[in-house]
Every structure is written in structure tokens, then in C-alpha cells.
Amino acid sequence: MFKPFPLFRFRSHRSMAFAALACAFPAGHLLHAANSPTPRQETKPADNPLLSESTLPYQMPPFDKIKSEHFSPAYGVALAEHLEEVEAIAESKEEPTFENTILALEKSGVTLTRVGNIFSNLAGAHTNPVLQKTESEMAPKLAAHEDAIRLNTALFARIQKLYDQRAQLGLDAESAYLLERYYKDFVRAGAKLSEPDKEKLKKMNAELASLQTKFSQDVLKEKNAAGVLVNGKAELAGMSENDIAAAASAAKADKKEGKFLIALQNTSGQPALSSLQNRALRERIMKASLARNSHGGEFDTRETVLKIARLRAEQAALLGYANHATYQLEDQTARNIETVNKLLGELAPPAVANAHKEAADIQAVIDRENGNFKLGSWDWSLYAEKVLKERYAFDESELKPYLEINHVQQDGVFFAAGQVYGLTFKERKDLPVYQEDVTVFEVYDADGQPLALFLSDMYARPSKRGGAWMNEYVSQSDLFANKPVVANHLNIPKPPAGEPTLLTFDEVITMFHEFGHALHGMFSHVRYPRFSGTNVPRDFVEFPSQVNEMWAVWPQVLKNYAKHYQTGEPMPQELLDKMLASRKFDQGFKTTEYLAATLLDQAWHQLKPNEIPTDVLAFEAEALKKAGVDFPAVPPRYRTAYFSHAFAGGYSAGYYSYIWSEVLDADTVQWIKQHGGMTRENGDRFRQTLLSRGGSEDPLQQFKNFTGGEPNIAPLLDRRGLTGDAKPASAPQDIPPEKPKS
């Protein structure tokens, strides 16, 4: 799950807008500090729908009443209200108790939670200049707000006292874990620093918040500006008529009627490269993609990257850690950089070796066709398709007529959820949405009781950040009796009006993946909002969603949704068999491009302050070479300059999470297959032991509760075609003793 970078996600210790910050709570006695974002005297305007609880089902936001101009004043009111609530907690004369301190903090900031959730989601899914201006203005103010809370000496003293007495408090397991998490969050945020060091940290956090917001916005602007303009249709030979029509529509929207605009996605590789016959155009597209944000101009992010890297390294040092990665990993299931480096070090050599073998196969096809050129990164997708066709007599484009978007969602994603968990779905056309392409479904549990609302936002648009993600508008909690409102966002190119949306199989997998995150949010059954849904360590959050991908290729599910969009005929068994047989194809490329980005993330964030380079591109090249993944034909999935996961806040030193989670995923999928496969019994077990628990208990214990054993890396190696002499030493159970902070 790649969530866009919310300015503020109250209580989410995975908040992407603030580096090195955990859950967010106010700081009473600092209310009138110089950086205090909002004066107390603001009052609630009666006409601002953000400042009162929604009367719609499930408290769904009233999008038809919300205007972009509402957010700035709403933030002002919500921040002041939140600070007042916490001031009362911090300055209370009563002895601290769980109820008057921890529970009171958990109940505070309801208005700010609502405003922050709606704003951060819209800023990612459907932004505009007003929202971007608000985003830039609020980022440092919200960072100051969080600092005012967790650097509040009086507030932390109350938490510290309760933590020291925790064995005598008689708390139930979830409450005890909540107290423990509050204490750790405050300590990691700098609560034990001296007052001068707290002031240094505040300045760092405010600057980082602004820089990360700037990086995020510049990546989006450059992506929209970097589309490749094509003068004539003849240059587009190989593209489908639908894709050509979409390129014509994009050019027309950009006031270049009669031409064709190939929009870029956020990754290094671009979809058009798999079909375009014109090699010069392929090269233009790839080079434009790789050069984004690093070729000069107003959206160049290189200076921003260096500032972010330096500030994060300095911040880590101030907090007593060797580097930013050490700080980040301490609070993840991986625990330390040694474990992550070991895993990546074991995976990279076989992945690169496989990629070179695949490159040799591709070069052989080029030579047979008298191409007279050496394989370039812009050639890989097109010629890999030819190798695929030769090896498996399979052309992936043959799949698309059987993968119409509504069939995939209704008869695939929803059908699987019905088979595994007993869920049913009803579209709600009576509820307002923020953009016409968004659809809303009410989700009913196996017993027929309402469970959640699910928003589906599938199409790409200039106002939407790249990637795919899930987020929550309302999080489940027993404390507030809230049922969840969750959303999935993809970036599928929208075809011209009247044409069907036909997916690639990768897009099908992504749809199942993101719905796995949605299930994590919808099945949440915890008391405290702090633990709701996907509020788990970042390197665990991808695991349940990756497990949900298995149903995309489960025969019972595949046969239900893979039907021709015109005739309704099921996908021929022969084509289906070829597709399944080819699933390990090109895994060397896919694993290497992912690992290259992951290793870049670690290289930047394992630096000390005095090791920050001056040349972003030179450092990137050296880091890839040192890691053994500098293979020009396979560029990193994200280069540094547009690596939003790493430099807009959310996955800094954490992009490894996908492969780490896949260790758990592959092991879990094997367990499910060995225990009957697609059964309600297995679904209920997964829901009860893991999906419903959120962050309310140790995540690896949740895994063990489901599988009954320790994680094993072997199923992952087999899945990715990396089997050989690799040993299971880098599985998550092999965590070396933690070293002292330096």
C-alpha cells in the first residue's frame, strides 16, 4: 500500500507527513508558543461542514458540501480545540490514572482527526491549487502541533509515571499495550531530550514537514508536465486503438489537438513501452521517465533530497541513533538494519543473475530479428513480451478482453471476499462523492449486518498522485462506536467515453492487493483508535494485502471474473493455463528493479550527517554499483529524484517492507493451500487472528497465531524463481540481538 502523504493522520504512527513521528497528541502548556499554529479565539463557523459530525451513514464525509476553502479555517478550529483538550490532561492536579491520562488522550482530537483524514485523502486523490496551498501552509504548523504534544514535559511525566507502575494497574491486554505504545511513541519523539535539544528537534521537524510536502508536490507536477508528445499516429504503431484514443484525448485536454500525449506513471517503467514498435519513441519515453525531477527546472528535487537526507540524519543523531534507518527500523518488525541488509544481500545476487539470464534471452530475440542494437531499458518490456510469447505461446495482450474492470471488481475481488469471508456488497448511489468516477459500496457481514462503506476510485487523473493505496475516512473503534469508511485508489488509465476499461493482469493483482488493505480496515475490531485497522508497523502492513492477491489466480475466482467483455465467454482454459504457467516469467527483472529502489532507500538513510553527499545522481550510481544492482537494462523502480515512498515521508528506510511482508505472505499462502484453500474456515481464522486485531498486539505474534509457526523464507524464494543455495537465515525470525544506539 502506497498511501499518499497526508498532512496529518491523527493517531497513525505511520503518518507520512512527519518524519520520525509516531501518534499525534497535543501539548497543553505550549499552547502559546511562538510556533503555535492557531489562536484560541477562533469559533466554529456554522457553515463549515468539516466542524461537525457527518449525519450521513457511517459518518461518511458530505463531499457535496465540502469546499477546498473550508479546510484552512477548519484546521484552525480543530487544532485549538485539540490543544485545549490536552492542556487539561497535562495540567491536571489529579494523580495520573489510565482513565484521566491515556484514555483521555485517546478520546481527544476528534475534530482534528475528521478534518485531517478528509483533507489528506483529498489532497492525494483529487488535489487542486487551493488544497496544495493549504498543504504547504499547514505542514510546518502541524509538525509544530505534534511537537507541542510529545515534547510536553508535564504530559510525558504523567505517562512515564503510569508506565513505571504498569504492572500494578491491572489493565487488560489491549489497554496495557496502549500504555506501552504511548510511552514508546513519546520517547521516540524526543520526550527525554533536554529543553535546548527539544527546540532543535522542533525546528528540524517543521523544516522536514515542509520539505517532504514540497517533494511530493514537485513529483506530481513533474509527472503531469513530463508527458511525451507525439506528432503523428504512425509513430504509435503497436499501441491498441483504445490507448491511442486515450493519448489523443490527453493531448486535446492539454490544448494540443491533433497530436498524442503519452502520460507518464510514477514508476520508472511505463506501460506504453510494452507495445510501441518505434524504438526511438520508446527511448524518448524511458529517458523522459528516468530524468524526471533531476534535469533542472522548477520541479527538480535534488536539492530537496539532500536537505531531507541531512535533516533526517541529524534528527536521528540528536535522538541517539546511528542514522535514520536505525531509528526507523527499531519500531518495525525487522528491528535493525543488520537484518534488513542481510535479507536484501541474500536476495540481490540471485535476482540480478536471473535478470542477466532474461536479458540474454531478450538479446537473442533482438539478434534473430536483425535488430542490430544492444538491449536498452526501453526495449525490455516489448521484447520480454516476445520471449514470453515464444516460451509459453502466450501474448499477455490476449488477456485484456477478459479483464474488464467491473467484472474484475464485482465478480473477482468482491466474489472472493464473499467466498472467503461471507461478505456481500451493495452499491450506494445515494451518497455524495468527490469525483464522478468514484463509486461507493455498503459492505455487509456474513450475518447480514452492515459492516463498512467502501469507496472505489480506480482511474488516473492529473489531480491524483501516482501509485495505488488504501486509506480511511473513518476508522473503526469500539471507544467511539465507529464503523469504518475505507477507500481504494488505483491509477488505471481511463479509456475514451463509451470504451471498456480493460486491465493488464498486473492491474488486476493491484486491485486485489489494495482490497486486502481495505479488508484490514473493514475487519478491524479493536477498542482504541490507536490500533485500528492498518495502524501496524510499516513492514507488516503489506502482508495481509499481499495474501489477498492469491485469490486473483485461484481457479474458482479466476473463472468467475475472467470473461470476455463482449461475449461473456470465459477465458479459454488453454489461455488460462499459459497465463498461470508464465507467472514466474520476468521475475529477475521485477525483483531486481524493486531491490534496486529498496537498496537506494537504505543507502540514503544509513548515512550519518557528515556522510551526506553533494551530488544526488553520483551517489545513486555508486550505491547501485556497491549493492551489485547497477544493471542499466533494469533501472530502479524509482530513482531518487521521484522516489516518493522514501522522500515524502511515509516509507523512508522502509521500502523493504514489501519484500519483508512477502516472506510472511508466501508462507501464509502455502499454509492456506495446505489447509483446504478457499474455505470460510480459513477466512474466519485469518480474520480472527490477524485482520481484526489491527495494531493491538505484537504483529509477528499475530502471524504465528495464524500459521502456528515461525516464518520461513523458502516459499518466497520459490515464488520468485530464486531457489538455489539461499538459506532461510534472513527470514524474520532470525533477528540478531539489538545493538546499543550510538
CB-CB contact of 309 with 604 (8 Å): yes
Say how far apart CA 22 and CA 342 lie, in whole Å. 27
Residue 502, strand partner residues = 404
Residue with cell 540524519: 313
Rounded distance, CA 362 to CA 387, Å? 6
Radius of gyration for the alpha carbons in the chain, expressed in angstroms and rounded = 25
Q: How far apart are CA 480 and CA 528, in angstroms?
A: 8
Torsion of CA 694, 49, 148, 530, to 10 degrees: -10
Spell 267-277 as b/e; 16+ CB within 10 A means b. Answer: bbbbbbbbbbe
- Asked if residue 244 lies in contact with residue 177, where contact means CB atoms within 8 angstroms, the answer is no
DSSP tag of 369: T
Strand partners, 492: 459
Contact criterion met (CB below 8 Å) for 292 and 223: yes
Contacts of 291 (CB under 8 A, 6+ apart): none
Cβ contacts of 514 within 8 Å, gap of 6 or more: 1, 468, 469, 470, 488, 489, 490, 545
**Amino acid of residue 511:** M
Q: Which residues pair with 426 in a beta bridge?
A: 442
Q: Is 514 a catalytic residue?
A: yes
* Secondary structure letter of residue 333 according to DSSP: S
Question: Grid coordinates in use for 427?
Answer: 452499491
C-alpha cell at 706: 495464524
Give yes or no for a contact between 73 and 42, defined as CB atoms under 8 angstroms apart: yes
Q: Alpha-carbon distance 624 to 166, whole Å?
A: 47
Cα–Cα distance for residue pair 406/560, rounded to 1 Å: 12
What spatial distance separates the first Cα and last Cα of the chain, rounded to whole Å? 32
Strands 424-427 and 260-262 turn out to be unpaired
Catalytic residue among 87, 404, 514, 697: 514
Angle at 114 between CA 24 and CA 697, to 5 degrees: 50
Alpha-carbon distance of 511 to 320, in angstroms, equals: 41
DSSP class of residue 563?
Answer: B
Count CB atoms within 10 A of the CB of residue 225.
14
CA distances from 712 to 16, 338, 666, 667, 726 (A): 30, 18, 9, 6, 12
Determine the Cα–Cα distance for residues 689 and 697; give it in Å rounded to an integer: 10
Residues 16/4, Cβ–Cβ less than 8 Å: yes
Burial class (CB in 10 A: 0-12, 13-18, 19+), 386: middle
Rounded Cα distance, 49 and 66, in Å: 6
DSSP 8-state secondary structure symbol assigned to residue 411 = I
Cell of 548: 489477498
| The Cα angle at residue 156 between residues 154 and 157, in degrees rounded to 5 | 65
Cβ neighbours, 10 Å, residue 349: 14
Measuring CA to CA, which residue among 125, 33, 43, 29 is closest to residue 86?
A: 29
Residue 726, helix vs strand vs coil: coil
230: enclosing H helix or E strand? strand 228-230
Tell me which residues are annotated as active site: 514
